Structure 1
Amino acid sequence: MAFPSTPLDVLVELQVGGTWTDITADTYTRSPIGIECGRSEESVRTNPAKCTLEINNRSGKYSPRNPRSPYYGLIGRNTPIRVSVNSGPSFLSTTGATGSGARTPDAAALDVTGDIDIRVDATLDNWRTTGVVPSVDLVGKWSTTGNQRSWMVQSRDGKPHLEWSPDGSTVLQADATVMPVLPVSRRMAWRVTLDVNNGAGGWTATFYTAPTIAGPWTQLGASVTGAGTTSIFNSTTELKVGDATNLTFAKPTGRIHAAEIRNGIGGSVVAAPNFTTQTPGAGSFTDSTGKVWTVLGTSAITNRHVRFVGEVSSWPARWDVPGKDVWVPIEAAGILRRLGQGRKSLDSTLRRRIPSHSPLAYWPCEDDEGATQAYSPIKGVAPLRLTGGWTFGQDDTLAGSSSLPAVEPGARMRGTVPAPPAGTMQWSVHMLYAVDAAPASDAEFLSWTTSGTVRRWRILIRTGVGTVQGFAADGTQIVNATVGVGSDVFTGWQRLQFEAEQNGANVDWSLFWFNIGGSAGGFSGSVAGSVGQVALVDTQFGASISGLRVGHLSVLPVGDGTDGNAYRDADHGYSNEPATDRMERLAAEESATVALAVFNGSVPAASEPLGPQRPASLLDLLQDAADCDGGILYEDRASSSLVYRDRRTLYNQAPALVLDYTVEGEVGPPLEPVEDDQRTRNDVTVSRSGGSSSRAVRSTGPLSVQPPPQGVGVYDESVTLNLGADHQTEHIAGWRLHLGTWDEARYPTVRLMLHAASHLIPAYLTLKIGDRIQIANPPSWLPPGPIDLVVQGIAEVVDQYTWDVVLTCTPAGPWTVGVVGDAVLGRVATDGCTLGGAVSASATSFTLVSSPGPRWVDSATYPSRFPFDLLVGGERVRVTAITGTTLTQTATVTRAVNGISKAHAAGAAVQVADPARIAL
């Protein structure tokens, strides 16, 4: 018997000494487990998830400082905890570890050498990954050992990727031409077919996607073709899913539901591991084709769904007076709590970026105002020694840096550069600078010594001229090259980049100027001799330089093509970086602190461009990006990681969960609509940090700034966002006004009693923050039609026989936006329409008067545009035809589409039931 007739299988685990340990038996059932995640309102940042429960501590096992406890020294502050339930179909859990997944031995039926059809169905956290080769193994018959390559399918940079070999050694490959849309559920089925002889002297690979392996399949982009017919090598290697190759690609993390291999496109099935039908805990099974599959490594067949992962920050001991009842009331929290506790700002983007490129020496010069030397973050590099007038912390106008020093004319800097790795035959020197004006005479901007033929290099700049000088060990000048320079090298922040490399018997050198965010040009030359190594940066700034500021001086052991990457983009703080790109980059840079998955729906459409990344805490930087883009940043329920749901994934969603008010348990009491002003904002000003602003005001309508009864009065809002450009403020202000003046009752909470409606459990287990839900058949005292909502937060109470869920919701209506060409979402209303005469409750002909126009489409000219729905006085009518081509027209209608049929007076307002709204 299933839940609720039998107890719900709840598992509570602590990570003790790095191992997940079952403590369910010690978890009291007298106090249900409470779990909360998400946010309470659309405009409020997400709160840390939390889980409350009580643990039996009569033995003192859960007293961290009790030496009698078997967990002594193994539990304490921020001990990981997770809560899960067994429910629904099984799946193969994949941990991302090498050797995880499942395999079946090679067999004659698997030796497909011609056309092949490969399918896999998975829910993954890492459909997209980073790295030199951003690939994730999925399924394959592929081993490089002994050249036993047949074929493999991967996710490469988020797209299906096929590789195969005709001889076990040579590799051919094809990639899908477009990126698939990643559902918020993260579940996708991919299908790849290879036609080894397409009849035109070549081969063809075609890619498909589907919601599950059951289909329906939709072709992904264009087919990929190659010259020459091909074949697939008959290797002896095993067939594997998960860790599908013996290579060092990333391995899938999440769930694999099924896979299928066919001999021929749409041909006979030769392997079909269906993990959804297997017994949880099984170590092996036989698929429908007779293949025996073995579960590998850290993978497992399970139907366990994690409801909470967090950390126990404290272990408060409680007991009754006799000491017979001893317990620990735990309130665990998600990772947002810890991230919110740490308020240390991340360093500037340059300070973070340059050390990752292994500089031989680096001095940021971001020291505080009273500093007398410039610290180096590179181990083994002494501080930069300074003489003359140096005043730190004077200029914070460089977007990629913290405040930098002002330097007086004639001041000096000296910094020793450690010896580079043996064999290094090229190097580069970089410095950022800004001046008030161009020097009238030659002025030294940068100079350094080397062990090469040119012992001292100097860069001099004056109005209109840049000079590179080089001197031999005896002081003889052996390089003297000049180039004309424009005023742009004296305007704003600049980067000097000088490179030298050995080219036979010569030293090739190049000097470049980079306006921050672009190039100002450069020139190059060559001199006989050896390049040597940079030994000392020794610069005395010219006496004619006015208003000099400098910073981020470095020596890098690489030449042109890679060293510029140490500064590029970071020097302007990644200005205009899309919000989702910034979040993914930050998560990659701070991978030891947080993991982040981004769901941005239609990947080709960029998220909102951001302004420069200034020093701030990691959580603030992530949340600021989310605020600019308008999506939801929340905690993943199944892991200690964050999820960002892009704003566009909230548009025009299909309902993830449909409830029926008339079915017992599906909608528990109370379901209470609220008509209030909690979310009303009818006067919105959006400003760009360091830039301009825009204002949007609702001047007419029931939620306008007009005083009652014409409106509700002024509800103003002013926000400052770190946007990339001023023009963004107008669109964002309009969108926030749209959200703040949506005229609909709120249903703040929806209760599900899963113990009374257990058939909802499978759909509920896949429900995500930001998903759309609907409640069908509401009671007659509420407005007709389904109640349409977006889930903002989830709270659940779990015990053996009760599973109670409360969803915090906001209206879904504002997120239904226009789609050009769509029969429903692409329809635009006239600019005002009324009934030309009164109609009875049964009339099927309406006179429509449009003023000032345009008119409605007529069915004779535009038959494909019919039918469509209109709203009149709360009644939804379906227009099947319209006659007339003037502003007064006659419509034939079907009444009571939403169950309402009533008489309407002449002059009653007529509007499109689902008008197209412009999305942000």
Structure 2
Amino acid sequence: MPVLVEVGWGGLVQYPWSITWTDITSRVDMVQGVTISRGASDELSETQPGSCSMVLDNEDGALTPGNPDSPYFPFVRRNAPIRVSQAVMPVRTGAAPYSVSMLGDDFDGIVDTARWPNRYGGAGLVDGRLRIPLLPGGSAGFQSAREWRLPGSSVCARLSTAPTANGSSAAMAQFVLDSVTNGTRIGFQLNALTGILRCASFVGFVDAGSVDIPYSPIDHLWLRIREMSGLVIWETSGDGWDWTVRRTLATPAWVSSETLVVSLTTSRTGGTGDYAEWDLLGAQVRPRFWGMVNEFPVQWEGLLSSVSITATDLFKRLNRMPALRSMLAEEILSSDTLTGLFSFLSAYYPLGEPPSSQSAGSIAGSGVGSLTPVQVSTGGTLEFGTEGPPETGETCPTFTPASASAGLYLAADLGDQVQADDAFYLIHIEAFFRTSTAGRVICGLYEPGFEHQLTLLLNGSGILTIEHTETGSPVATVTTGTGNLADGNWHHVVYDGSTKRVYVDGSPVGSTLSVTSMSGLRTLHVGGYRGARLWNGQIAHLAIHHATGPAGPVYTTHYEAGMTGFAGEAADWRMERLARYAGLESVTIFGTTHDLVATQGPAGTGVVARMREIEATESGRLYAERDYYGLAYQSRDVRYNPDPTSEVFVIDYADLDTLGVQLADDDQKLCNQVEAARPGGATQRVNAPSSVFAFGVYEQQLNILKSSDNSVLDAAYWLVSRYANPQPELREVPIEAATMPEFLDILDADISSYFTVYNLPAQAASSEMRVTVEGYTETIKEQSHEIQFRTSASSTDSVWVLEDPVYGVLDVTTRLAY
């Protein structure tokens, strides 16, 4: 059961798919072991950032930061990605022929000659791996005894080192299962010359229907062949845990009937020799940690050098992110990822500068110029810091001209890059505005020679109008069907330069407009255009996007962001939205009960704080995944009424093989009175009179982001019904897992999993107790894997089911779900 520790030297955690992992397991001090902690202390506490610690051998100085002689230089540095897995090796039982799922070898030690009787060409074990040479003009191999069956089973291996062409005209590495007939085999073949990984079923050395894929040392690090229900399945994986199907084939008759040989072979025609290396054949991988190394502190004992590292999971990066802007600003900054096109934000002026400001900057990160005031004639004012769109908590400028041709507007040079992009991509413009004065310009753009111009304005009737030209003066005018927008209310406009359509307040207006395609636009005017039709009112959150197609419909959601802050959307949608703000591709959602939540529109809090607000509001669970760079969120119904058939495992008390099991019965979780409130809603109180009479008042304040007072009341009742009189529970369950037949099942236990401990000592209140996992601390050593589960009573989350023999007992299990 080897541990597998890998570091992604030079990789970035925000781009996990591009990380090349380096196995450093041989450096781990397994006497001290690897210690990992994740989850929460109990169900009422927040999950904490997961951590991992270990001591690494640094005798060669390879892990010394800044050492130019390190093979990992210059990437031995803070925040290096790291992942830890447990590779559980199968055990062969019974008599031959064996299921190939029982074939396992970590190639650490000496060759099992009974298992691998046929070895040739110099194939052997080197530094804990199987090394098979690719010698010019020769072949090499490592072959098992003929004692394996594939039906209903699988076999995998890790291709730790792939061969290269090295000037040869042919170079191959194979991982196959051989028939009794020469040239009939099934498995994988890597062509080092072409870089093609072939998923093949050979008959007479030929497979006309093979599936060939470009080999990737990242995505195809692990290879697996399995048979299930009459199908042979070829799969690849980057970590040995998350598999991708590459080919399926109806199981050939010979596969079903024959006893097979597992072969790892190589061949080369010429060039320079190298080798293929394989590891962890047959291993069943269970990810334990995925995160970032905090530092590489080098220490010495005499001349012996080691590095004691600690690593933290995804929450480290999330917790150090700056406070979020308003939901509107975050939507504009992140929504280009949703278009399904190649689209990007060229300029974004929130216009939220403080009152003393003399200019306004772009936060798109594209290096465009700032907007600066331009005075036309005399008089008028331009005041920053006035009230912006309703649910942003941000300000904007107010333009107050003396007349349509006397006052101030803003102008910016967008620069060479935007001008160049405008020749290849389609421009999209959006802005918020408010005015009671018709006949004024929102914004306009032109290229230096004025051949191309594009202006968005309200005409004399307050109707959105577009002026454009690609031939200089005169400009053409297109009037949309918006109705009067000079009504003193906030509005949002999107112009889609691909479909030539406009969207106002989240909805399309009319159909395609007769607007020419613009090119080379560089100068931006806001609140007026070329010294005329000066805006009287507010303009905010002006953004310019470029895209390869119609991206406008995506930007229409920004109206809701600015006006309501997405108040009333479901909690799972909010979690996914916040994950996007954090730069995550997604958050994995578990469960189906998701209430509607209030706005989190204004700026000023971090992304984790906002996620925690949703977690607390929904009595959910938020944590970092242990197998990849991602977050998971569980709704409260994940824990409703545990089904005994879905338990991760059951364990006899005597098999825990550890000390420290404790039955707790205290007032740590007792809560019999809740005062609950929501933003803009009523403050309500719920209590449990019998509990108050028995124990006194144990009150808790609940401030949550529910969208209705009834939802707040439901949440308060839920809390009181669970904790008015908590029952005795096991809060710590330590297990020496490595000795258990259910080792894999125990490793599968994660946050909100549940298991049962039975045959408890006679002094216990009952002979068995079912517990829910809240978190755990594990220490992995040589031939030892101790896991200290932090648990709560599963019955706490049971809910009433009408006429159910377990969950429908009057006055016992009649807690209503919410």
TM-score normalised over the length of structure 2 = 0.66
Residue 425 and residue 16 in structure 1: after superposition, are their counterparts in 2 closer, same or farther (change >3 A)? Answer: closer
Q: Please give the residue correspondences for 1:531-570 in structure 2 after superposition, counting only pairs within 5 Å.
A: 536-538=523-525, 540=527, 548-554=538-544, 562-569=551-558
Deviations 1:712-768 (A, max 9, x none): 3132223343x455654333333333344352123221121235x522312101111
Task: Choose the corresponding residue for 2:761, options 748, 772, 779.
Answer: 779
Task: Using the aligned pairs only, state the percent identity.
Answer: 18
Which amino acid in structure 2 is aligned with residue 303 of structure 1?
Q
Residue 555 and residue 452 in structure 1: after superposition, are their counterparts in 2 closer, same or farther (change >3 A)? Answer: farther
User: Whole-Å Cα distance in 1 between the matches of residues 492 and 755 of structure 2?
Assistant: 53
SS at structure 2 position matched to 1:581: helix
Q: Does residue 383 of the first structure (1) align with residue 370 of the second (2)?
A: yes
* Offset, 1:413: 2.5
Aligned to 1:789: 771
Give the RMSD, CA atoms, in angstroms: 5.2
User: Whole-Å Cα distance in 2 between the matches of residues 361 and 74 of structure 1?
Assistant: 34
User: Whole-Å Cα distance in 2 between the matches of residues 28 and 243 of structure 1?
Assistant: 30
Q: Please give the residue correspondences for 1:209-288 in structure 2 after superposition, counting only pairs within 5 Å.
A: 241-242=234-235, 254-255=242-243, 283=264
Aligned to 1:648: 637
Aligned to 2:330: 349
Aligned to 1:48: 49
Conserved 8 A contact 2:80-2:292: yes
Residue 471 and residue 754 in structure 1: after superposition, are their counterparts in 2 closer, same or farther (change >3 A)? Answer: closer
Deviations 1:673-713 (A, max 9, x none): 22222222333344434x324534123222xxx3x53x431
Q: Please give the residue correspondences for 1:385-784 in structure 2 after superposition, counting only pairs within 5 Å.
A: 385-387=372-374, 389-399=381-391, 402-409=394-401, 410-416=407-413, 418-419=418-419, 429-435=429-435, 438-439=436-437, 442-446=439-443, 457=455, 459-460=457-458, 465-466=462-463, 468=465, 470=467, 479=477, 485=483, 490=487, 492-498=489-495, 512-514=503-505, 518-519=506-507, 522=509, 536-538=523-525, 540=527, 548-554=538-544, 562-569=551-558, 572=561, 573-587=565-579, 590-591=582-583, 597-602=587-592, 606=594, 608-609=596-597, 611-612=599-600, 614-615=602-603, 616-654=605-643, 655-661=646-652, 663-666=653-656, 668-689=658-679, 691-702=680-691, 706=692, 708-709=693-694, 711-721=695-705, 723=706, 727-741=710-724, 743-755=726-738, 757-784=739-766
User: Whole-Å Cα distance in 1 between the matches of residues 287 and 260 of structure 2?
Assistant: 19
Aligned to 1:178: none
Task: Choose the corresponding residue for 2:293, options 309, 312, 322.
Answer: 312
Aligned to 2:2: 9
Residue 330 and residue 359 in structure 1: after superposition, are their counterparts in 2 closer, same or farther (change >3 A)? Answer: closer
Q: Which has the higher helix share?
A: 2
SS at structure 1 position matched to 2:46: coil
User: Whole-Å Cα distance in 2 between the matches of residues 558 and 9 of structure 1?
Assistant: 49
User: Whole-Å Cα distance in 2 between the matches of residues 368 and 765 of structure 1?
Assistant: 54
* Offset, 1:370: 3.7
Residue 595 and residue 278 in structure 1: after superposition, are their counterparts in 2 closer, same or farther (change >3 A)? Answer: farther
Residue 407 and residue 788 in structure 1: after superposition, are their counterparts in 2 closer, same or farther (change >3 A)? Answer: farther
Aligned to 1:914: 813
Q: Please give the residue correspondences for 1:84-123 in structure 2 after superposition, counting only pairs within 5 Å.
A: 84-87=85-88, 89=90
User: Whole-Å Cα distance in 1 between the matches of residues 472 and 85 of structure 2?
Assistant: 76
User: Whole-Å Cα distance in 2 between the matches of residues 550 and 537 of structure 1?
Assistant: 15
* Offset, 1:771: 0.6
User: Whole-Å Cα distance in 1 between the matches of residues 792 and 55 of structure 2?
Assistant: 32
User: Whole-Å Cα distance in 2 between the matches of residues 651 and 564 of structure 1?
Assistant: 39
Conserved 8 A contact 1:608-1:628: no
User: Whole-Å Cα distance in 2 between the matches of residues 526 and 332 of structure 1?
Assistant: 56
Deviations 1:149-207 (A, max 9, x none): 9999xxxxxxxxxxxxxxxxxxxxxxxxxxxxxxxxxxxxx9xxxxxxxxxxxxxxxxx
SS at structure 1 position matched to 2:283: strand
SS at structure 2 position matched to 1:796: strand
User: Whole-Å Cα distance in 1 between the matches of residues 325 and 257 of structure 2?
Assistant: 47
Residue 650 and residue 608 in structure 1: after superposition, are their counterparts in 2 closer, same or farther (change >3 A)? Answer: farther
Conserved 8 A contact 1:349-1:401: no
User: Whole-Å Cα distance in 1 between the matches of residues 368 and 246 of structure 2?
Assistant: 55
Where do 5+ consecutive residues of structure 1 fail to align? 1-7, 108-138, 142-147, 153-189, 191-211, 216-237, 245-249, 285-294, 503-508, 828-869, 871-910
User: Whole-Å Cα distance in 2 between the matches of residues 676 and 565 of structure 1?
Assistant: 53
Conserved 8 A contact 1:76-1:314: yes
SS at structure 2 position matched to 1:314: coil
Residue 552 and residue 739 in structure 1: after superposition, are their counterparts in 2 closer, same or farther (change >3 A)? Answer: farther
Task: Choose the corresponding residue for 2:349, options 363, 377, 381.
Answer: 363
Q: Does residue 807 of the first structure (1) align with residue 800 of the second (2)?
A: no
Where do 5+ consecutive residues of structure 2 fail to align? 12-19, 91-100, 102-153, 163-172, 180-198, 202-207, 213-225, 266-275, 338-342, 376-380, 402-406
Aligned to 1:223: none
* Offset, 1:49: 1.9
SS at structure 2 position matched to 1:664: helix
Which amino acid in structure 1 is aligned with residue 493 of structure 2?
L
SS at structure 1 position matched to 2:48: coil
Aligned to 2:129: none
Which amino acid in structure 2 is aligned with residue 796 of structure 1?
E
SS at structure 1 position matched to 2:85: strand
SS at structure 1 position matched to 2:609: helix
Aligned to 1:76: 77
Conserved 8 A contact 1:681-1:717: no
After TM superposition, the structure 1 stretch with the greater mean CA deviation from structure 2, 774-783 or 300-309, is: 300-309
Which amino acid in structure 1 is aligned with residue 371 of structure 2?
L
Conserved 8 A contact 2:235-2:246: no
Which amino acid in structure 2 is aligned with residue 382 of structure 1?
G
User: Whole-Å Cα distance in 1 between the matches of residues 279 and 569 of structure 2?
Assistant: 38
Residue 562 and residue 483 in structure 1: after superposition, are their counterparts in 2 closer, same or farther (change >3 A)? Answer: closer
Conserved 8 A contact 1:419-1:535: yes
SS at structure 2 position matched to 1:392: strand
Aligned length: 662
Residue 362 and residue 682 in structure 1: after superposition, are their counterparts in 2 closer, same or farther (change >3 A)? Answer: same
Aligned to 2:219: none
Conserved 8 A contact 1:360-1:554: yes
TM-score normalised over the length of structure 1 = 0.60
Residue 17 and residue 361 in structure 1: after superposition, are their counterparts in 2 closer, same or farther (change >3 A)? Answer: closer
Residue 748 and residue 570 in structure 1: after superposition, are their counterparts in 2 closer, same or farther (change >3 A)? Answer: farther
Deviations 1:557-610 (A, max 9, x none): 688x5323224247514444433334445545655xx565514245xx656545
Residue 383 and residue 529 in structure 1: after superposition, are their counterparts in 2 closer, same or farther (change >3 A)? Answer: closer
Which amino acid in structure 2 is aligned with residue 513 of structure 1?
V
Q: Please give the residue correspondences for 1:26-175 in structure 2 after superposition, counting only pairs within 5 Å.
A: 26-58=27-59, 60-66=61-67, 73-87=74-88, 89=90
